[in-house]
Structure 1
Amino acid sequence: MRPLTIGAVVTALAEEFPDVTVSKVRFLEAEGLVTPERTGSGYRRYAPADVERLRYVLRAQRDLFWPLRVIKDSLAAIDRGLVPAGAELRPVVPEPAPDPEVPDAAALLEEAALRLTRAELATAAGLDDTAVADLLDHGLLRPDADGLHGADDLRAARAAAGLARYGVQARHLRGARTAADREVGLVEQVTGTLRGADGRRAAAEVTHLVLALHAALVRGGLAAGG
């Protein structure tokens, strides 16, 4: 959508706010509630987000009689990622979107039927036998008693293959194995006294939460470092 002039903004708002005027919009801008872009010649140009911001301000004044100080605080909260709570308009913390890379408890309860030979694993992951041997030597792959690899080994091998393109070798990933083993130990410690179906469900739920925590900590660490 193309940016709007201040007159077009007033027209867009007039159906819901018939008393809005150009002077009112300029006043709200002067108070720092909206900051439209300016052209080289100084004309205001309002993006769709600016129009919605003005709509929020006008609703807060009309419906809730909020003073500008309260509206500014609410807008500052929205700028930090909070969202308006319906007709109340007060910003609340949104529910984080589920991490698509973290399996939910139901998925973790499913039995993995996939069983691959070493050669099949290598082909599916795009690795040669030497690379697979390195992953095995460093404990990043764990075949079953028959020497076959499940779906998680395939995921690990594919991730390792992707990291290898950035120069990351199997020996660099030993810390990931150590961290994973510690997290496994935590799950077992928390749920070790439970048995049967209840124990499996609890282990799946705790595993999901541990994986979600791990992913959040990694993302947060990268964001803080950036």
Structure 2
Amino acid sequence: MAGTPASARGSASAQLLSIGQVLARLTPEFPDLTPSKLRFLEERGLVRPARTESGYRKFCQQDLDRLRLILTMQRDRYLPLVVIKSYLDDVDAGLGPLLPGSTTDRGPSMLPSGRRLSRDELIREAGATPMLLQDAVSASVITPGDTFGDDTLAVLKALVELQRCGIEPRHLRGFRVAAERELGLIESALVPVSRRNDASSRARAAELAVEIAGQLEIVRGSLIRSALGRLVP
């Protein structure tokens, strides 16, 4: 955690990791992770690695777990860093905050590490059928792959419930089109930052993309709730 005393870290110096070692452990799960991204997260106050006398960053196991949590929340929940930092600050303060984007799950202080599920595991945990998963892939609602994350699991669970109401994946093809339109908006907004092709700008562009996606999600949710108000007076 961010509050780990330097003295405690020093007592386990043999377990401290360099940036390169952190990347080696995390990039299999998060291929887009770079040294610039790690430094950017530190600049934003989300992680605070120890420093050697020469100024090199050293990460303990708690830092590694925290980074995995941050990256998982970005990847699977599309949360902007400001929301993630607020959540972690509350966790550090022992407040037991509700996980952002969740309405009922009040779990332990740290999320489990990002899981990767096989096709069979995904189907079993979602309570779905192989045909439903195939239909979702065919409708471009779920991206095909050898393994799947918790975000895909949540989508497939939702599709199971929607199917019970007579809504099939083929009815949701427009969602992919809408997502591509939103991607176009994000790409346009990133042009001023992307023009500066340096490591810091690339890290900022990646973070800004997640923040914009989060704001678009808020607008979309509000529009749907408003429409529901007209549908069900």
Normalised by the length of structure 2, the TM-score is: 0.47
Rg comparison, structure with higher value: 1
Normalised by the length of structure 1, the TM-score is: 0.48
